[in-house]
Structure 1
Amino acid sequence: MENPQVQVTRSFDARGAAAIAPRLRASWQRSERYGVPEDEVVPVFSGAVDTGSLLYECGTEVLRGLQTTLANEPISLMITDSEGLVLSRLCTDASINRSLDRVHLAPGFYFAESNAGTNGLGLALADRAPSLVRASEHYCTDLRGYTCAAVPVLDPLTGALAGSVNLTTWSEQSSGLLLALAQAAAGNTAALMLARASGRIARPTPRGEVFRVYADRVDPGDVPRLSPAWTTAVAEAHTAFGAGRVVAVVGEPGAGKTALAALARRDLRPRERLLNARPPAPDDVDTWLTLWTPELAKDGTCVIVSGVEALPAWAAEELARRFAEVRGGGPAPFVLTAVDAGSVPAALRPLVDLVVELPALRFRPDDVLPLAHHFARRDRGRDVTFTSAASRALTAFDWPENAKQLRRVVREAASRSDVIDTAHLPAEVFSGVGHRLSRLQAMERDEIVRCLSEPGATVVHAAEKLGMGRATLYRKMAQYGLNARQLKS
């Protein structure tokens, strides 16, 4: 088989790029790995644009000033967040606004590399560096009519990536000053953020993405060998899909329901295009339905509708009507997921032919270590080792947030070492508490875990260091479900 890198390079060369900058070449290679279509921008919409953030406030103010200077120029000025979500777009040229709407470069849509392939703002966010992408340098042909300059904006207090400033114009326009203007706007935005950051309360990251294309193109060969509980559920779904039946995969949040559905579909139809639709905020349901339901009619496309229990009743009824219209002789072009069979909205239940239940991770302890190795390899880029003490701790934990929590824990641990020991694991892994702790309780638990996990530490020494009696420490350990032996390497 030909090397994918060679294929990408040839494709790039064939489209008129005589001298390929290394960053652009790498971006094209990532775009292909993400599975981004070459001929169209697939809309990835979020119903939650945070217009109250400091980045939005300062960036929009700076761009309004720049817009006054460029009033007669066909240049669209944009602010995005760190994930490529377009927060605002300023432009007085009606023609370019209409054109950008057609390719979904508009507020509420994601334009990261994984969504739209190589483009200015996506490259700036991926590389955290000023980027200029001209005409044919775009991965997607829909974007060849534009030139985009983008510059990342860093949080002036933490240094974290806050978002980007993006300037887009027609490809035939002169781009000489475009990047310089974007750099000036990004610098002014960061400076204004610093001036206004004093006493500002951090806002939570906006949530509510309702539609996305599977960026990792689920590969059955990449999934580790898991327990019979998992493989049986995958086999049930696979058989049902092959028979043209509608499947609802149910289980606790984070258990891997969407991954299971995607794996079974990919195993049955390797070239199928998998999309994932998540429930929006109630006010955004109309937009949500309009955005992705036309995809159901496309050949070789399947939509996994996650968390249907969160849909308003009227939305479930409308969805049931649209699903009924696309039922055919082959595999149904949609899959549902929910927390349990009883939570599937009444309007959708008659469509479901089979419910596949995925047990929570605490009922699949044999899956913990294979998944931990899998997640670590994906995030670290190479295999890591877990010590016997770390393995025991991971296997013994209940994982109330399931595989989602395991991946978060492993990602953090693998970022610190290739050999993961108990010292690299968070305190939560050693706690058997069945309820949420207060902030003060969590701090106390973490400090106890830190003292007990030190080399050579005993309960007596830990109690002295913590300034409490041995009986008190034993009581605290019981309260937080801590086992001293699990904390030892």
Structure 2
Amino acid sequence: MDPTDQRRRTANARADFLSAGASVSGAVPEIVAASWQRSLQAGVDTDEVRAQYFQDLDTSSRLVRSAQPIIDRLSGEAADIPLSIALTDSKARVLSRLDTSSAVGARLDGISFASGFQYAEGNVGTNGVGTVFEAGQPVHVVGAQHFHERLQPFACAGAPIRDPLTGHIEGVLDISCLAEDSNPLMRSLVRTAAQNIERSLLLDRSVLQQALFETFVKTDSRTRGAVLAVGGSVVMGNSVAQALFDPAEQRTIQEHLRYLGTRKGHVVDEIELPTGNVVRLHGTRVIVGDTVAGVVVEVVLRHEEPAASARRRSVEAAPVTSVDRPAVRHRSAATRPVSQSPLWKRACAEILAALAQHQALLVVGETGAGKFSLVVDLYKRATPAGRSRLVDAAELGKDSFGSEPLEAVSEPTLWIFRNIDGLSSDGTKRLNAILLAVADGESPAYIAATLSDANVDSELPFRAALVHFEHSVTVPPLRHRTEDIPMVVAQVLRKLSALRERRVSPAAMRVICGYSWPGNIRQLEEALRAALGKRPVGEIRPEDLPGYCHQSARRQLTGLEAIERDAIVRALHDADGNRVQAAAALGIARSSLYRKLRTFGIETI
């Protein structure tokens, strides 16, 4: 078909679609037609570009490092062609853009296709970035095929860049030019370049793993003790570590090493294992460029419980058997299990010590990790006759906030100032006045404050009040205390179902334990509340849990992706995990289903 006739046909099809929702079957490629439908359902404005701007870009990531040489080479080869080459992250945010033509670059600036702007399909409609994420495959969008009016002067070809090991889309490579300069070879060109970046990612990952392995070998050669290494999906341990610690102890140490890998400072620590044994960890972070490849440590057994030693000998002598994991049941407060997480135990011990010494305590941790609840619970345990008073940051910021905290009290009182990182300048001044008054008074008052660890290094107003605090404690996120998840699930169920006994099936518990819980205990509570809503009585099963619980993908899904993920999870449960039946029920090819399972990280069904 003549290019002019094709452009006219596409423009007419788009006009009919927007005016009456008419079918565009055959008028445009299926991938474009599906994108138009999604864009319409998402309420994309066809006239105004609504690309959101972000400042928190990681421009020194492994993706950028791996992609830059390929982009430079591609730019050199296309120096005589007026185009622009862009790289995005996994959230469709433009990380970099390299122009071979200043004229094309200026026009792209006019539609906010520039570093920091997000080109998700739900914001700007059909395009060579957002549509790649939605379709999971390369796309070529020309002229009127763009849903948005202001994007129609351009042609863009985009291809996904997948992590070679996980299959997750790490970003998109996009080539854009004016529509009249479009060439069908653009799609092949960008796909080849994206594949080259994926090979570079694999090589980069291999470099990280090689560096971790070399450090592990060097450490093992100079010590006769136990050596463990953790990095990404790699776990290594020498023969001494295998013999000295049972599998549960090794998992606890490994989880703690992952935690230490995310922190600053020296890799030196001492933790108590579930058996009661105490070990000292001393090692190093392995860093390649700006990336932490992992952690390698020597593990020294500082104290071994006699009972643990006896259990170890009996386990070594006993035959190995396989048993099913029991369902989680409610227990009375007297028989409630205690935490097995060294990080959680440490946080509890440090909070109790600070309360015992009347030290003003700062409790730091991720949102939803249970900071406030933990402080209150430990205070009540240590001071049964005491009372507690919560003061939220929003309350301190109000002019109507009273002076009750300044008044003398006759009984022990714990004042908890929650989310102080949200304080305004006026709120910070009020907090300062309260803390000064308490310090000068003689009332039996305890002071604690909570804040998000994401804001610890910020320049927010609350920092002016930190001088009043004598001790800080970090509460670990739920993903770094996986050994406690069955216990936490039982506690949450007890809270949600009151006096009724509720259980979680072993299969559902495997799903829960496999999820990373970025929203921590608060998100777990929401998930279990939703499951109880689906199954008011009886044992909670995997299909009762929200769809996101079944995914291991780390990137944030768009609204449409979340809907699609939930539909896939329901179809798989209805088909008892049969992929062929699920694909047929969803009306998609089996290969498409497998690709979406990799994209969403669905592995538990």
TM-score computed with the length of structure 2 as normaliser: 0.41
Aligned to 1:234: 348
- Report 1:309-348 matches (<5 A): 309-327=421-439, 332-340=445-453, 341-342=456-457, 345-348=462-465
> 2:359 maps to what in 1?
245
Over 3 Å counting, the alpha-carbon distance change for 1:461 and 1:295 in structure 2 is farther
Shift of 1:292: 4.8
Q: Could you give the per-residue CA deviations for residues 392-441 of structure 1, whole angstroms, max 9, x where no partner exists?
A: 00011111110001111112223423301101111010122333322221
The 1:433–1:291 alpha-carbon spacing in structure 2 relative to 1, beyond 3 Å, is farther
Q: 2:416 aligns with which of 304, 310, 335?
A: 304
* Alpha-carbon distance in 2 for matches of 1:356, 1:393: 30
CA distance in 2 between partners of 1:365 and 1:295 (Å): 43
**What is the identity, as a one-letter code, of the residue corresponding to 2:601?**
G
- Kept in 2, the 8 Å contact 1:399–1:405? The answer is yes
Counterpart of 2:518 in structure 1 is: 400
Match of 1:409 in 2: 527
Mapped contact 2:393–2:418 kept (Cα < 8 A): yes
Q: Could you tell me which residue of structure 2 aligns to residue 371 of structure 1? A: 488
- Take 2:517 and 2:465, find their aligned partners in 1: how far apart are those partners? 30
Tell whether 2:559 aligns with 1:461: no
Deviation at 1:321, TM superposition (A): 2.2
Give the counterpart of 1:260 among 350, 368, 374.
Answer: 374
Q: Given that residues 242 and 331 in structure 1 are in contact (C-alpha distance below 8 angstroms), is that contact kept between their aligned partners in structure 2? A: no
Deviations 1:283-308 (A, max 9, x none): x52223x1653467553221211100
Output one character per residue of 1:120-154: Cα deviation in whole Å (capped at 9) or x when no partner: xxxxxxxxxxxxxxxxxxxxxxxxxxxxxxxxxxx
Q: Aligned partners of 2:444, 2:336: CA distance in 1, in Å?
A: 23
**Correspondence 1:93-112 to 2 at 5 A:** none
Which residue does the alignment assign to 2:596?
476
Deviates most, 240-249 or 431-440:
431-440
**How far apart are residue 454 of structure 1 and its match?**
2.2
Report the AA paired with residue 370 of structure 2: G
Match of residue 285, structure 1, among 398, 404, 410: 398
1:88-142, CA deviations, whole angstroms, 9 ceiling, x for partnerless residues? xxxxxxxxxxxxxxxxxxxxxxxxxxxxxxxxxxxxxxxxxxxxxxxxxxxxxxx
Structure 2 residue matching 1:342: 3-state secondary structure: coil
The equivalent residue for 1:51 is none
Q: Distance in 2 between matches of 1:230 and 1:329?
A: 32
- Aligned residue for 2:566? 446
Q: Which residue of 1 aligns with 2:509?
A: 391
Query: Counterparts of 2:443 and 2:429 in 1: how far apart (Å)?
Result: 23
User: Is the 1:250–1:338 contact (alpha carbons within 8 Å) kept by the matching residues of 2?
Assistant: yes
Q: Following TM superposition, by how much is the alpha carbon of 1:270 offset from its aligned partner in structure 2, in angstroms? A: 0.8
**1:329 positional shift:** 6.9
Paired residue for 1:350? 467
Match of 1:359 in 2: 476
Q: Is the 8 A contact 1:384 1:414 kept in 2?
A: no
Q: Provide the C-alpha distance between the structure 2 equivalents of 1:397 and 1:291, rounded to a whole number of angstroms.
A: 45
Query: Structure 2 CA distance, aligned partners of 1:369 and 1:391?
Result: 7
Structure 2: unaligned runs, 5 residues or longer: 1-331
1:273 pairs, out of 380, 387, 405, with: 387
Identity rate, percent: 29
Do the aligned partners of 1:241 and 1:331 also contact (CA within 8 Å) in 2?
no
Change (3 A) 1:225 1:418: farther
Contact 1:224 1:374 (8 Å CA) reproduced:
no
Distance 2:335 2:352 in 1: 17
How far apart are the structure 2 equivalents of 1:221 and 1:292? 36
Q: Distance in 1 between matches of 2:575 and 2:517?
A: 26
Residues 20-35 of structure 1 aligned to structure 2 (within 5 Å): none
Task: Tell me the number of residue pairs that the alignment of Structure 1 and Structure 2 aligns.
Answer: 265
State the Cα distance separating 1:221 from its structure 2 match. 5.9
> Partner of 2:574: helix, strand, or coil?
coil
8 A contact 1:249–1:356 mirrored in 2: yes
Give the match's secondary structure for 2:416.
strand
Q: Residue 583 of structure 2 aligns to which amino acid in structure 1?
A: A
CA distance in structure 1 between the partners assigned to 2:591 and 2:554 by the alignment = 22
* 1:396 partner amino acid: G
Q: Distance in 2 between matches of 1:334 and 1:367?
A: 28
Amino acid at match of 2:524: L
Contact 2:409 2:443 in 1 (8 A): no
- In structure 2, how many angstroms separate the alpha carbons of the residues matched to 1:259 and 1:279? 16
User: Tell me, which stretches of 5 or more residues in structure 1 are unaligned?
Assistant: 1-218
Shift, 1:369, TM fit:
1.4
What are the Cα deviations for residues 165-212 of structure 1, in whole angstroms up to 9, with x where unaligned? xxxxxxxxxxxxxxxxxxxxxxxxxxxxxxxxxxxxxxxxxxxxxxxx
Bigger share in strand: 2
Secondary structure of the equivalent of 2:448?
strand
Q: TM-score, normalised by structure 1?
A: 0.51
Contact 1:249 1:357 survives alignment (8 Å): yes
Distance 1:281 1:260, change over 3 A: closer
1:370-407 residue CA offsets vs partner (Å, 9 max, x unmatched)? 11111112221233221111010001111111000111
Q: Return the alpha-carbon distance in structure 1 between the equivalents of residues 385 and 408 of structure 2.
A: 16
Counterpart Cα distance in 2 of 1:432 and 1:456: 20
